[in-house]
Amino acid sequence: MDIEAVDAFQARVAKHAALADPARLRIVDLLTLGDFSPTELQAELGMSSNLLSHHLRTLEEAGLATRHRSEADKRRSYLRLAAGALDGLVPGEVHGARRILFVCTRNSARSQLAAALWRQASSVPSASAGTHPADRIAPGAVDAARRRGLDLPDVAPRSLDDVAGEADFVVTVCDSAHEELPWIGGIHWSVPDPLRLGTREAFDKAFDDIAHRIADLAPRVSAA
């Protein structure tokens, strides 16, 4: 981890530590709505001025709040949420990637859905493959995608051996594939196999599960 990454990580640690106290979290909640004077915060929170001063100092030191003088009564000050105060509280970028490769066993449902959803969410290229590919994409996956306005490409499932590249960031979306490939690295999403039940509900649940995970991951991966 380089020095810049370490500094960013330590800044996140400081912010999380500051927000771990219920009173300070409540103060930040209030500051997301507008600016407050210490007197107003004291009345809102019902705490002593000394304790409030301690909390405000902690928030300022963590880069979560700033203080400025009133333009009217110079004896009065206001606290406001610092610019970008809440940036970086969620995990940062995973790393740069040339391509995201989604892998399941048959490459007939989950990995196909994931690759298609990824193309909507990120400019980083995506592909999909299977450890034991099926003959065709599962009709249930095609239907689930169509119900949500997503067209799956009309391609035959492909073998991991034919698709994988050294620079791929691999996401297994199938427990069987993950456990078959312990050496492959990347990350794993334990998405239940909709083909086991074969119902419309099972495919819809798999689609929604993958869509939520991609929405979380896409902002954290940049093009290499």
Residues 31, 49: Cα–Cα separation, whole Å: 18
> Where does the pLDDT of residue 49 fall: very low under 50, low under 70, confident under 90, or very high at 90 and above?
very high
The domain locations on the chain are 3-81, 95-223
Q: What is the pTM of this model?
A: 0.71
Using one digit for the tens of pLDDT, what is the confidence trace for 200-222?
999 999 999 999 999 988 988 88
Residue whose C-alpha is closest to residue 62's, from 25, 112, 107, 30: 25
Using one digit for the tens of pLDDT, what is the confidence trace for 71-93?
888 888 999 999 888 877 766 65
Contacts of 78 (CB under 8 A, 6+ apart): 35, 36, 37, 67, 68, 69, 70
Residues 165, 99: Cα–Cα separation, whole Å: 9
Kindly indicate whether the domain formed by 3-81 is annotated with CATH number 1.10.10.10.
yes
The CATH number given to 95-223 is: 3.40.50.2300
